[in-house]
Structures are given as C-alpha cells and as structure tokens.
Structure 1
C-alpha cells in the first residue's frame, strides 16, 4: 500500500518543490511590479517586498537538490551503452 501524503516518492517531492518554486517566483515578480509601479511609502514594504525573492532562491536550491537526488536514484536504462559524456552528465 502506498504511503499517504505529498511525499509518497522523491518524484512527488520534486514536483511539489517545483510548484513552490513557481509560486514563489510569481509572488516575487508581483511584489517587484508593485514596488516599481505603485511605489508604496509604508515603512514595512521595504522589508516585505524582497522576501519572495529570498524564498525563490531557497526553493530553487531545494528543488535542485531534490532533482539531483531523484536522478541519482533512478537506475540506468537497460541495454544501452553509456558513453563518457552521459556518465559525466
């Protein structure tokens, strides 16, 4: 029986991290657009608007680590000769 929840496999964790990365990037672009076009003068805006950019960097790092782990866990295809170039990648 499969495990319930979002982390059933490494593929689902990678997919979840990828979705989170996309949403963080969208929020970062939206906050940059608000900052550029509306120029909010409230005190807290200078602290809040860069937060989605930091989250984007963190989720990009998490996604890349999870994706590398997923690729390392995958067995090579059967019956194919692996060249030096494929081994390096």
Structure 2
C-alpha cells in the first residue's frame, strides 16, 4: 500500500483550497507589514507586495465555489427535523 505523501493526502479540494487561502492571507499580511515597516524602495516591490492579496482573492473565489458544490452534493439527513435556523438558511 502506498503511503500518502504531501501531494497525495486524503484532504478534499475544499480543504486544500481553504489551506491555500490561509497561506495567501498570511503572505499578504507579511508583505503588508514589510511594506509598512521597512518601506522598500525597489521598483518591483510596488507590484510584488500586492500579489499575495490578488492570490487571496482568487483563493476565496475558488474556495467558495468548491464549498457550494460540496454542500449541494451532500444529501440532507433523513432522520432529523430541520430547525427554524436551518430553514432560514
């Protein structure tokens, strides 16, 4: 039996996109902190520090689409009565 590696984990696409989102947000906050504290003068920095923010936006879109598909594909429980909160949602 093959052991799961870093690219063969049992995590779903929703979990992986959520992890990507977290890492993009961490990188975006770190780059914003570097920009605020160190104020780099390199020409490429103006476009480079915004890159993680754009990646975070793309990861949010991917995660929301995958999560909506996951919730739509899940069958409702048969033995439970929906509460008012679940009916409103």
Q: Is the 8 A contact 1:7 1:13 kept in 2?
A: no
Point out where structure 2 has 5 or more consecutive residues left out of the alignment: none
Aligned pair 1:31/2:31, yes or no?
yes
Point out where structure 1 has 5 or more consecutive residues left out of the alignment: none
The residue aligned with 2:78 is 78
RMSD, matched Cα: 2.2
Q: Is the 8 A contact 1:21 1:56 kept in 2?
A: yes
The residue aligned with 1:61 is 61
TM-score, normalising length: structure 2: 0.82
Aligned pair 1:48/2:48, yes or no?
yes
Aligned pair count reads: 84
**Pairwise CA distance, 1:82:** 3.1
TM-score, normalising length: structure 1: 0.82
After TM superposition, the runs of 4+ consecutive aligned structure 1 residues lying more than 6 A away are: none
